[in-house]
Structure 1
Amino acid sequence: MKILILGNGGREHAIGKKILKDNPFVRLYFYPGNGGTNLIGINIGNYINDYSMLELALFSKKNNIDLTIVGSEVFLMKKIVDIFHSYGLRIIGPNYLSARLEGDRGFSKFFMKKYGIRTPNYEIFHCYDDAINYLDKKKFPLVIKTNGIASGKGVLLTNNKKEAKKAIREIMIEKKFGKSGEKIIIENFLQGEEASIITIFNGKYITPFISSKDYKKIGENEIGLNTGGMGAISPHPHMNNLIWMDFKKNILDPTYEGLISEKLIFFGFIYFGLMITCEKVYLLEYNTRMGDPETQTLLPLMKNNFLNIITSFDKIDMFWEQLYSCCIVLSSKGYPKKYEIGKIISGINSLKEPFYISGAKKQEEKWVTTSGRVINIIGLGNTINESIKIAYKNAKKIKFDNLYFRKDIGS
């Protein structure tokens, strides 16, 4: 069986490793991939020079690819699933209309409101002046979001009017996030614990994975700029039975109802970004793919054959190791802004599995950095504290100039 995985991060390396662990005879291709994926499959980035969805479809057709898995959201809003379907190719991910649940926050919020899905109060703005004037009516803190995807960085927490005005100007006037900021959402801030639930939707059933917690900020104690994710733990210590029941009743079930009613039918992933308050759970956002670094944290705990999960149209029973998982993201200092690449990495050969390459490649037999997020280190333990301890012990084996990672993941 030939499988193509789309993306270039640790998530895609983790998906590939899990598939090979369960199915050793599968042949993997990656676009564009990274140094890690190149060790377990074939990176086809050398043959396709840009993100042409049509070229990827033609490559898949010519090379008899049996299944394509969309890792990164970048591909979804370029209608890759629709293009693959038009060529009769099998692909895991939502069509363009369904992908708007992630790629168009205005559409997503309308969907939540229509189907009674609990979410923070919000307003949507197309006009800069209207957004600025709205601030006079609100109490702070406020959350300001780009309408479109922004690599996980388009969500800004503002503590006062000055910060909010600056955020709105950066998004709408200075175009910091490009077309993603042509429209913004201003949302009430909720105090609580963020949680992530990844699910698989096969068009008939939505099946949740176990919970996880993502650490999005670059700085310890969740301060500083948003990133693609600096670490994660699983299962989430605050997702007790009552919270799970609340999530199912007020978020998961009405989401399913809305998908069926709106004919948003696809085979792929739905990620629920949640906020657990002292009273109830709220939906902050949908993603229509697996999270990063949540995927790297979850897959080492999964007992199921991952390939069976993403190809079965039946109701799935999920099985998990009775362990805890902690992921530490090793990054280049300066990320998510400016950072240097090409730094020689030492210690990779001494790492114990599981670990995943996210931004590194082999160059003349040496590993060098190629991106802001470089390596994902996973610790597995019988307690959450044990998993954290193991992850940090492994992380200290890696050395390169300008190495940075948060010291408080899981605490």
Structure 2
Amino acid sequence: MNVLVVGHGGREHSLVQKLAGSNRIDNLYAAPGNTGMHEAICVAIQETDVDGLAAFAKQKEMDLTIVGPENPLMAGIANRFQTEGLPIFAPTKEAALLEGSKQFAKDVMIKYGVPTAAYAVFTDAEAAKSYIHEQGAPIVIKADGLAAGKGVVVAQTVEEACRAVDSMLVDKVFAQAGATIIVEEYLQGREFSLMAFVHHNQVFSMIAAQDHKRAFDNDEGPNTGGMGAFAPVADIPKETLTTTQEEILQKTADAMVTEGRPFTGILYAGLILTENGVKVIEFNARFGDPETQVVLPLMENDLLQVFLDVLAGKDPELRWKNKACTGVVLAAAGYPEKYVKNIPIPNFGRDCFVNYAGVSLTEGELVSSGGRVLLVGNIADTTEEAADNVYENIRQVDMDERLFYRKDIGRQAKMQFPSKKL
């Protein structure tokens, strides 16, 4: 079979690595991919070039295309491929609005009884700030549209919240994506992520993971696209995961069918276990990054067969290793703001795996080209052991001081394992 992965980051490299293990794939392509993805044939087509991707898929008689990032989804790649009769595992732009508009996602959740935080929607800065003064802090400010994982401010004070409002609505730091904002109740509890393969009313959950959004240790610093992750999550009971699939993922999939926007693809739920049960923080319409990099290595199934089974309406019978996986992101100095480029990339030992994200070749040398440069991961019996192996591996390499990473990923997770099938 010929298979195409759309995207260029660490998540897509993880997909490529997992798919490369399938003996059913003759040619594995990544568009545009990156120079670290040696397992695939990289093609110089940008991920939002829907016309170019469709033409390439038709030329190469692609048996399946898998979409990693969010921007192609909102550009209608699934719609175009379906029109052309090209097999694709991705939601239409109408279904991907679950991620593309936080207001839309909130409205769907409220309408269909999916538990989430209380919220209000604003386009006027003064009205939003007046509401914030009434509600008090801590409080959460979110850009409605796509902002590369950086459009959320968890404000600890009213003043910080008001600055976030001005930044989005007045200074327009997120352009049109921040033209509408959501002001949301602050929830306390245990955060985790749960991804699922979805085809209309059918939902097949993966194992839970936890990512770390803040740039620095102890969850300090600005929000990022993710500085590391681990899976599974020890202190989320199996019963809670079952309830989450039924009351959140399944209910949302059913709602999208009822709304005339049936969802096919990966439904990602960013969740928090509160004293009042699990609630949704956000939905994504694709694999999470960096959660994918620690979930897929624990999957025993042939990933290609999983995609094919789900599209055919069959239960893929997901199986998981009785292990844990921890991944730590190395980022360029300055990230998530303006960051340094062309940092030399060290060679890591064989004890860990590497997912390359923001890298390129300069005069034959692998150097950084993005904010999040790569993820170093390890599989072990426990989360802590996997984390120890990753950090030991990082310490052993001659690394440029302009690369930084958090040193507390997976350090406080007690390990208990989910059943083989959720």
Give the TM-score taking structure 1 as reference length: 0.95
2:233 equivalent in structure 1? 236
Kept in 1, the 8 Å contact 2:256–2:263? The answer is no
Q: 1:77/1:244 Cα in 2 relative to 1: closer, same or farther (>3 Å)?
A: same
Partners of 2:74 and 2:100 within 8 A in 1: yes
**Residues 198, 269 of structure 1: 8 Å contact kept:** yes
2:336 maps to amino acid: P
For residues 284 and 50 of structure 1, the distance between their equivalents in structure 2, rounded to whole angstroms, comes to 27
- State the distance in 2 between where 1:405 and 1:53 align: 34
Displacement of 1:347 in angstroms is: 2.1
Do structure 1's residue 365 and structure 2's residue 367 form an aligned pair? Answer: no
**What does residue range 154-165 of structure 1 map to in structure 2 within 5 Å?**
154-165=151-162
In the alignment, what sits opposite 1:322?
A: 322
Q: CA deviation at 1:49?
A: 6.2
Correspondence 1:323-338 to 2 at 5 A: 323-338=323-338
- What value does the CA root-mean-square deviation take over the aligned residues? 1.5
Alignment of 1:5-404 (within 5 A): 5-23=5-23, 25-37=25-37, 39-45=38-44, 48=45, 51-312=48-309, 313-348=313-348, 350-398=349-397, 399-404=399-404
Q: How far apart, in 2, do the equivalents of 1:197 and 1:371 lie?
A: 27
AA of the residue aligned to 1:127: D
SS for the counterpart of 1:345 is coil
Q: Which amino acid aligns with 2:65?
A: T
Cα 1:162–1:243 change in 2 (3 A) is same
Residue 316 of structure 1 and its aligned partner are, at CA, apart by: 2.5
Q: For 1:346 and 1:367, locate their aligned partners in 2 and report how far apart those are by CA, in whole Å.
A: 8
Cα displacement (A) at 1:304: 0.7
Residue 188 of structure 1: how far off its partner (Å) = 0.5
1:326 touches 1:384 (CA, 8 Å); kept in 2? yes
The count of corresponding residues between Structure 1 and Structure 2 is: 407
Question: How far off its partner does 1:79 sit?
Answer: 0.9
Instruction: Give the C-alpha shift of residue 237 in structure 1.
Output: 1.5
Shift of 1:24: 6.6
Matched residues in 2 for 1:386 and 1:344: separation?
A: 28
CA shift, 1:353, in A, is 4.3
- Residue identity matched to 2:39: I
Consecutive unaligned residues in structure 2, runs of 5 or more: 412-422
Per-residue Cα deviation, 1:251-306 (whole angstroms, up to 9, x for no partner)? 13321321221232243100010011234111111101000010000111000110
Maintained 8 Å contact 2:136/2:158: no
Percent identity for Structure 1 against Structure 2: 34
Q: Deviations over 1:292-346 (max 9, x none)?
A: 0100001110001100111112122110000011010011111111111112222
Q: Residue 5 of structure 1: SS of its match in structure 2?
A: strand
Cα deviation for residue 25 of structure 1 reads: 4.1
CA apart distance, 1:128: 1.8
Q: Work out the CA distance in 2 between the residues paired with 1:199 and 1:12.
A: 17
1:263 & 1:397 partners in 2: Cα distance? 54
* Equivalent position amino acid for 1:230 in 2: M
Shift of 1:351: 3.9
Normalised by the length of structure 2, the TM-score is 0.93
Give the 3 Å change call, closer, same or farther, for CA 102–156 of structure 1 in structure 2. Answer: same
Partner Cα separation in structure 1 for residue 48 and residue 157 of structure 2 = 40
Where does the alignment leave 5 or more consecutive residues of structure 1 unmatched? Answer: none
In 2, are the aligned partners of 1:5 and 1:12 still within 8 Å (CA)? Answer: yes
Write the distance in 1 (CA, Å) between the matches of 2:337 and 2:394: 23
How far did 1:40 drift? Answer: 1.5
**Does the CA-based 8 Å contact 1:333-1:339 persist in structure 2?**
yes
Mapped partners of 2:253, 2:82: distance in 1: 23
Distance 2:27 2:20 in 1: 8
Greater alpha carbon shift after TM alignment, 288-297 vs 373-382: 373-382
